[in-house]
Structure 1
């Protein structure tokens, strides 16, 4: 293991920045005006890893992509559309997903088994394939940063902003880049949500090791966010690693493993927090940190319960320092706690210490709660577990957006 992790955030880079990746995004007609069809391509077949929704109802594209991830174990491209989830669409939906895979493969001149498919949008509507067919012909992927932006724009639904992040690290003396883009704004729970995430890297790593790393990273990033408690049918996070950086194959035994793992975690955490921050109608990002749980898993469980509580979310929206809602959520989380050892802080101001209420300045707390990022800290003192979760406030606009999503 390296004693010092070498890491640099590259604010001017995006999904096409790792060596050998190209992308494109166009408007094909699935949505009224905005870009709605995109493709991400590796110069060579890449190692691949994926994590998917826990919903028992899964959209047709997931079946196609899972075959690529778990059976082919290599991916060279993924075609993505917004405006239609192709979920709950029966046999026709699966045929359409396979047709999208074939259209992309033919466009690129590669095997269909190397192409993943992802869709997001309205559930229960049959895909309009004619616009997709025409759109595929318009897709001309290249490595320009603008093309990476086009890709990021084309995958959005109710998102208000694009979500991009990139880190560079050093492995075997060579620069390795890990970059990601995502969409997600509502239905963000539990274990991902109406979210799509795509991560590219030029690191040399086998699919099996990449899958282990992604699964581990997902637990403390994508699985630690919530917006509204609903679980989507289409959640997908894909990582493609094409090896063009030229480093020796990565595994936990590699001396620079922590550099790669940390870059993957930071990209995933940035994307997860961006999704929580951009929750439908949200005005604030809420971060909950839990310390002293019996395990890291229990700490994340408690943090996610607190940040997912509608009463906590509305209190933050209303700038109400109602710590009773926080301690109640801790209590019903199902985790091991001792009520007499709980300490709660909001933005550094102590509300409860060792189970006893502490006097605080209401005016000072209102100012803390007015900030765009609100941090809640919970100490349990029953173990050494530590974890985070991220979410957003619950606003009037959330109801308005989701009351008219189809229409």
Structure 2
């Protein structure tokens, strides 16, 4: 059982962090579009990024930064322009953004990470961005997480935020996070933009390893449309301000912190999947009986990403054949006689054979899920067993609706 609890505050819940979000004029709509997260002291930094060969300048900038120095103090995020496929000027704009923020905060430029989201091929509106940095810094607050979360969204319907706390050495240790993502979501790293803060003291290699594993169990297990972004970035800062004993090697303390970090990432990942463009429900797929956890995660992810399965769920059609077919093409060997498929409480297939079930009731289950209140009761669950192995894994997605096509057909027009 988890030994942490949910608290308020998002990325400003951990001690020593402030955040802000303002409208700087980067979005034509006039909505908030510039966010900042700052640690009061230098922090250990880790990151996981898109594996796409077509990457935004901010991705390359942050990767090079973290390879040279696993530390940072501030993260600047803009929405409106992705600064991807923008050539040498895009790189220079990322550098200038970091330099301008560093000068305003009075810290070294090496302490600044940057991230962008928006339309690919559009360079940053540098006049608006640089003019927005002084008021953004002035707006920094210990309660500014919600404003920052709102400022990074694009087609999202709602911002995503969470904070958790547990006791270590009789001291509260906290992890908080915010994220954005709704479309162009498919795991090839992480996917999306996500930012995590923590007030524990952790060695840099251990913090990076924790974040990579957390991403594999959360952001790398979500899919909306099968498209990976050019800007995918997951950045995490740990500043040690909790004053709990430093975690420098694997062990029980590291395991507890990693479990809480993973829970934060999983919450944000599920929120992104549920907020998929045009989605009416969250899809949670669990695979068991695989040779290992990685194989199980692959099976679950393949089913969650199946366009035919997603369309059937939107149509409230308990078409288990699409689920079985997706499991079969995941690339994990298994024998058909061992396949079991369950939708909610309805067992549709057992030992590779179809079972009689109440189709009307199963369809009603799907309809009830689609009518659920956002992020509360609107989850469709699928459980697939492929054998008797120890591996298990879960993936999250959403249904595929008519609105997904409409939203993306009109995205730049």
- TM-score category by the smaller chain? over 0.9
Q: In the alignment, what sits opposite 1:22? A: 18
Post-superposition shift, 1:258?
2.4
Post-superposition shift, 1:364?
1.1
Q: What is the alpha-carbon distance in structure 1 between the residues aligned to residue 191 and residue 405 of structure 2?
A: 17
Residue 393 of structure 1 is aligned with which of 387, 399, 402?
399
Kindly indicate whether the alpha-carbon contact (under 8 Å) linking 1:184 and 1:193 is maintained by their aligned counterparts in 2. Answer: no
Q: What is the alpha-carbon distance in structure 2 between the residues aligned to residue 373 and residue 194 of structure 1?
A: 21
1:378–1:252 distance in 2 versus 1, CA, 3 Å: farther
1:128 corresponds to 2:125: yes
5+ residue gaps, structure 2, are 370-377
Kindly indicate whether the alpha-carbon contact (under 8 Å) linking 1:218 and 1:268 is maintained by their aligned counterparts in 2. Answer: yes
Q: Count matched residues.
A: 402
Q: In the alignment, what sits opposite 1:153? A: 150
Post-superposition shift, 1:192?
4.7
Post-superposition shift, 1:190?
2.5
Q: What is the alpha-carbon distance in structure 2 between the residues aligned to residue 89 and residue 142 of structure 1?
A: 30
Kindly indicate whether the alpha-carbon contact (under 8 Å) linking 2:190 and 2:234 is maintained by their aligned counterparts in 1. Answer: no
**TM-score, normalization: structure 1?**
0.97
Q: In the alignment, what sits opposite 1:217? A: 214
Q: What is the alpha-carbon distance in structure 2 between the residues aligned to residue 323 and residue 5 of structure 1?
A: 33
Aligned runs of 1:312-331 on 2, under 5 Å? Answer: 312-331=309-328
| Cα RMSD, aligned residues only | 1.2
5+ residue gaps, structure 1, are none
Aligned runs of 1:208-357 on 2, under 5 Å? Answer: 208-357=205-354
1:63 alignment partner, SS class:
helix
Q: What is the alpha-carbon distance in structure 1 between the residues aligned to residue 195 and residue 322 of structure 2?
A: 36
Deviation digits for residues 183-222 of structure 1 (CA, Å, limit 9, x no counterpart): 0011111325651000001011122110010111111111
Q: In the alignment, what sits opposite 1:43? A: 40
Deviation digits for residues 237-281 of structure 1 (CA, Å, limit 9, x no counterpart): 011000000011114444422221111010000001000000011
Residue 143 of structure 1 is aligned with which of 128, 141, 156?
141
Post-superposition shift, 1:6?
2.3
Kindly indicate whether the alpha-carbon contact (under 8 Å) linking 1:284 and 1:393 is maintained by their aligned counterparts in 2. Answer: yes
Residue 161 of structure 2 is aligned with which of 160, 164, 179?
164
Q: In the alignment, what sits opposite 2:9? A: 13
Q: What is the alpha-carbon distance in structure 2 between the residues aligned to residue 253 and residue 74 of structure 1?
A: 20
Q: What is the alpha-carbon distance in structure 2 between the residues aligned to residue 341 and residue 281 of structure 1?
A: 35
Q: In the alignment, what sits opposite 1:377? A: 383
